[in-house]
Structure 1
Amino acid sequence: MIRHNNPTGLSAMAAFTLFCLPACSARSIEIPKNICDTPVTQGLTAPLLKPAGELSEWHTTGWGEKGRSVCIVSVDRSEALRLRVSWHTDSIDPMKYSSLDNSATGLWEPRRIHHLAESATLGDNGSIATTRCKGKGKWNFTLALKVTRDRKIVHQRKAIDKFMRAYMPATMKTVGCTPP
């Protein structure tokens, strides 16, 4: 279950937990079908959120609109995924923002990858992809994913690659970015 920081959801969760404690022998957590307002296959998200726990999501007002936005997915109140989207008029080189010197988006062992967006990088702990958008004037759209849950797990490259190859085009559709 995903909770969006609202008091009614918290009350309902507390009531469910009190009711379930005596009757439930094991806690079953469902991976959300949407991450930061974008549909994504649960099988692609699960490896990035394990071990599973209580999920919650928070994002800045205007998520996906012009400018910069952040969305954080937490597991058991601990940040697991940090997604950043930005709209900008200039093209960027994702490798510049992939450096570990960049505290916001720095990636471990970043490499350029192809067939994800116009330009993209993939690291052991995240990915950055950027593309121009047709019909949006001279706007470029960038999506950065950083896995922040367990900094000791550094070999998530394959799971991140699979996730981003589905999530980037789905997010572009969600925010109205059509590639040229």
Structure 2
Amino acid sequence: MRAVLLGLSALAVLVFVVSCDDPADHQIPKAICGTHIDPAVSRPLVTSDEDLHEYNRVDRSEAITAPCVLLSGPDPVLDLGFSWDPNPTDLMYLAQGTGSVSHVTDPHAIDFTYKTVVGTDGAISIAPCQTNGGKYFTLTLQVPQISLTDQTHRKDIEKFMRAYFPATLKTLGCR
């Protein structure tokens, strides 16, 4: 009887340990900063998926420039900047700036429906978007976990922007 109780106790501990490390707790979200996106598209950019949560200051109804950050614990893994402006922004100027809000390393324009530059550690896209906040919407993506010299994620960043930017425009109610 004692052996059975010890066996059941060991089984209970094993079930508890396995349930605490449930892979479902470590999944890439299906929506990032209010935009639905296939997790397979964002997975290559997320270096750690433990304790994923958002810091989101974006208010789509007010169309006020603000950040939204996907964090893994205290570390940012995807840093998105939402910006509304009355005039179109020069993306290369933004990308090559020294500020931390929109700097993208080694930016190159891509052939895409929307004006977009992609770099080794991020991207910027802009589109006409008539809202309360302005006539143009600019989305900046920064992936701080990618080394500035790591060229291997450029295609992943481009794929993300090709999916995420149009989906975000739909959520904004651009007119």
Of 77, 81, 97, the match for 2:74: 77
| CA gap 1:58/1:38 in 2 versus in 1, 3 angstroms | same
| CA gap 1:65/1:171 in 2 versus in 1, 3 angstroms | farther
Of 131, 147, 154, the match for 1:151: 147
Structure 1 residues 54-79: Cα deviation after superposition (integer angstroms, max 9, x where no partner): 20101115257422011000113211
TM-score in terms of structure 1 length: 0.78
Instruction: Calculate percent identity across the aligned residue pairs.
Output: 30
Give the conservation status (yes or no) of the 8 Å contact 2:63–2:131: no
Over the aligned positions, Cα root-mean-square deviation in angstroms equals 2.5
Show structure 2 runs of 5+ residues with no match.
1-14
How many residues of Structure 1 are paired with residues of Structure 2 in the alignment? 159
Give the conservation status (yes or no) of the 8 Å contact 1:136–1:177: no
Amino acid at match of 1:62: D
Q: Which has the larger radius of gyration?
A: 2
| CA gap 1:64/1:31 in 2 versus in 1, 3 angstroms | farther
Q: Which has the higher helix share?
A: 2
Q: Which residue of 1 aligns with 2:117?
A: 121
Q: Which residue of 2 aligns with 1:109?
A: 106
Alpha-carbon distance in structure 1 between the residues aligned to 2:138 and 2:61: 10
| CA gap 1:91/1:150 in 2 versus in 1, 3 angstroms | closer
Q: Which residue of 2 aligns with 1:22?
A: 17
Alignment of 1:24-173 (within 5 A): 24=19, 26-28=21-23, 29-60=26-57, 62-63=59-60, 65-99=62-96, 101-117=98-114, 119-133=115-129, 139-151=135-147, 154-155=150-151, 156-173=153-170
Quick check: 45-54 or 66-75, which moved more?
45-54
